[in-house]
Chains A and B, each alone.
Chain A
Amino acid sequence: MLDIQNLHASAGDTPIIKGIDLHIGAGEVHAIMGPNGSGKSTLSNVLAGRPGYSVTQGEINYDGKNLLEMETETRAREGVFLAFQYPVEIPGVGNSYFLKTSLNAIRTHNGLDELDAMDFLALCEEKMKRVEMPSDLMSRSINEGFSGGEKKRNEILQMLLLEPKLCVLDETDSGLDIDALRVVANGVNSLRSPDRAMLVITHYQRLLDYIVPDRIHVLADGKIVRSGGRELAGELEEKGYGWIGQTE
């Protein structure tokens, strides 16, 4: 599903990612852990195509296509979804209107009919239940005045609606209390399927108690310094990131 080879990337002029190789197959959930500044967010931004980041070397192959040649919106339409660490507030644009526009843009790209208002509403209500999202958040402006937890639920709601093939979750656990974390994780887990891949980026092991990954990679100074099974999270929790540096 996702094949990253020798990736080097910069934020602005600063090299951040210094050679990453990563292969995530369909149906797999991988986690990337690492200290602040290790390049976790840069990796997610490069995958989503955020302006200001440039790939200086290497390749990213997504579902048999060259991801780096695609525009941001094309990646989204082809099934790449980034759950933002800091979802953006957009005053004056209704959340519901935004989600419907987004869903229909993606459906149209994939040769499906657009959903009308009624069908969209029905679908949306069903998905909202799964993330325990109050209905008034749909009639409000995108993320405007949402609490931290509401913003993250809104991200997961979008993921549930758009049903992407590759889900990238960028520190989705940051700023969440334990109840919100459970709700968000349940939403994510409900999307786990044999034809979908997930990349969960987090600083803390806590999230991985709820979203249990198949593989864990530890990122430090722009490189994957350790990869292992889910037991690696426990080790990191116990010994901290300093331990990784020492073993290198």
Chain B
Amino acid sequence: MRGGSRGNPAESWIQAFPAFAAALGDNPQRQAQRERALAAFGELGLPSTRLEAWRSTNLGTLEKRMPPAPTGHAPEAGLLEKAKTQIALEADRVGEASLRAVFIDGHFCSSLSSLPEDESAIRVLSIRPESPTPVAFPQGYGELAPAKRDAFSALNEAFTPGIEVLEFGEGCEIDLPVHLVFLSSGDGRLNCPRLHVTGKKQSRATLILDFLSVPDGENLVSSVTEIFLEERAHLDCVVAERESDRTVHIANLQARQGRESGLRIHTLTLGGALVRNELGVELADLGAELDLNGLYVGSGDQHQDNHTRVDHATPRTTSRELYKGILADNARGVFRGLIHVRPDAQKIDSTQSNMNLLLSPGARVDTRPQLEIYADDVKCSHGSTIGKLDEEALFYLRSRGLSPSEARAMLTRGFVAEICDALPLESLRTAITELVLEKLSACVHPGGEGVA
């Protein structure tokens, strides 16, 4: 990666901002917003492990790598070609889509995207430097991931090339998934994709946030997604993190749910050197239902951190959370799940579970489920487990003729089945399951070394 020498990446990004802004050439309104965000970032600084929320995830690695700030220009031709090749190889693997939009280092790439002609169901209202002023920000923009609250949200707001805005129209039912591809070009720099999604009343859609990178590409990705679901809107959101094992990805996804809305978020962390998922959902109105379905599979030296926060802000809201982790080699997983029930939020039904499978002595996981309940009429349960492959089950399978590696593969596959089976749409389920199994096979056959 460029830079090379140790230093303070935060300082270098602040210093590089004017050049970035000049190259991007955004309008004064957005420029002012970016500057405020940069100032907030300057005050917050990069989080250290002294902060409780970052105790298990050390960003010191960024100091060694020093990823430079983005240039403000769209990717160069050479990188674009590599990116295109990667899109061709990987993007189609999630199957057919009603819409595909590709962003390379956060820049919209029209030649690789196919947007719908009819905008009655899906509207793309993105805010980019060429957008007219005054800028029409979508309702709620920045409320869930404000720059002043968290350093990476601030960094994202300062350096994102544009705010991608997606709206599912009132009452629409979109059968095929909407596929957003966020590809990192491997230019070694910071990139900051920003997304804002609104599900209007009674809309129904499936969204894939597909984070990719070129093979062996190095990048620091700081992504921010805000999702707003209006009354009785339903959204299945699949987050597939399958970047190179040299990518650092700090992903912040925040959602707010309206009355009787249904949100299911499936977070599949397969790639990355270090991935931190900051996921927060506010159940803001009566009858809202939330499913958080998560899987992290780590091998080598991967570090995968899931911080989730479910905020039951109103009565009669429901949440179910299941995260599973498989860690091989020297990989490390972190799960911290907080269920927060506010004082007047009665009749809450909430479950949370985190299950981990360690495939080697060097693998580690830190799991901390947490309940904060301030109401009295609630039903909440949580729990976590850490275990190895069941020796008894391995023997059973081997006694039926399966080799140790086949038996381990079958058991790990069984472990993730619950997560994969919950994915929406059969074609998507099949496609994502295949990606998961590919990653699993890399964990189960590390040069034939085995558990049995």
Q: Please report A residues at the B interface, Cβ cutoff 8 Å.
A: 48-51, 71-73, 75-77, 81-82, 84, 87-88, 90-93, 98, 101-102, 105-106, 109, 141, 158, 162
- A198–B416 Cα distance when bound, in Å, is 38
The 3 residue pairs across chains A and B that have the minimum distance between CB atoms: A92-B414, A92-B417, A93-B414
B406 at the interface (CB under 8 A from A): yes
User: What is the distance, in angstroms, from A172's C-beta to the closest C-beta of chain B?
Assistant: 15
Among residues of A, the one whose C-beta sits closest to the C-beta of B412 is: A92
B133 at the interface (CB under 8 A from A): no
Q: Please report B residues at the A interface, Cβ cutoff 8 Å.
A: 390-393, 395-404, 406, 410-411, 413-418, 452
Q: Which residues of A contact B413 (CB under 8 A)?
A: 92-93
Interface CB pairs A-B, < 8 A, 21: A49-B398, A51-B452, A73-B398, A73-B401, A73-B404, A77-B401, A87-B396, A88-B393, A90-B390, A90-B396, A90-B410, A92-B415, A92-B416, A93-B411, A98-B410, A101-B410, A102-B397, A102-B400, A105-B400, A109-B401, A162-B400
How many A-B pairs with Cβ below 8 Å?
76
Pick the residue among A76, A90, A109 that contacts B399 (CB under 8 A). Answer: A76
- A81–B398 Cα distance when bound, in Å, is 11
Known A49-B398, A73-B403, A105-B403; further 16 A-B contacts with Cβ < 8 A: A51-B452, A72-B398, A72-B399, A73-B399, A77-B401, A84-B399, A87-B396, A88-B390, A92-B413, A92-B416, A92-B418, A93-B411, A101-B402, A101-B406, A105-B401, A141-B414
Q: Is the CB of B452 within 8 A of A90?
A: no
Among residues of B, the one whose C-beta sits closest to the C-beta of A144 is: B414
- A134–B258 Cα distance when bound, in Å, is 45
- A110–B418 Cα distance when bound, in Å, is 35
Q: Which residues of B contact A93 (CB under 8 A)?
A: 410-411, 413-414, 417
Known: A51-B452, A93-B413. A82 touches B406 (CB 8 A): no
Q: Is the CB of B396 within 8 A of A84?
A: yes
Pick the residue among A88, A101, A106 that contacts B396 (CB under 8 A). Answer: A88
Q: Is the CB of A105 within 8 A of B399?
A: no
Q: Which residues of A contact B391 (CB under 8 A)?
A: 51
- A90–B397 Cα distance when bound, in Å, is 10
Q: Which residues of A contact B415 (CB under 8 A)?
A: 92
- A90–B396 Cα distance when bound, in Å, is 10
Q: Which residues of B contact A88 (CB under 8 A)?
A: 390, 392-393, 395-396
Among residues of B, the one whose C-beta sits closest to the C-beta of A74 is: B401
Known: A91-B414, A92-B413, A141-B414. A102 touches B392 (CB 8 A): no
Q: Is the CB of B390 within 8 A of A102?
A: no
Q: Is the CB of A105 within 8 A of B406?
A: yes
User: What is the distance, in angstroms, from A45's C-beta to the closest C-beta of chain B?
Assistant: 9
User: What is the distance, in angstroms, from B346's C-beta to the closest C-beta of chain A?
Assistant: 34
Q: Is the CB of B395 within 8 A of A106?
A: no
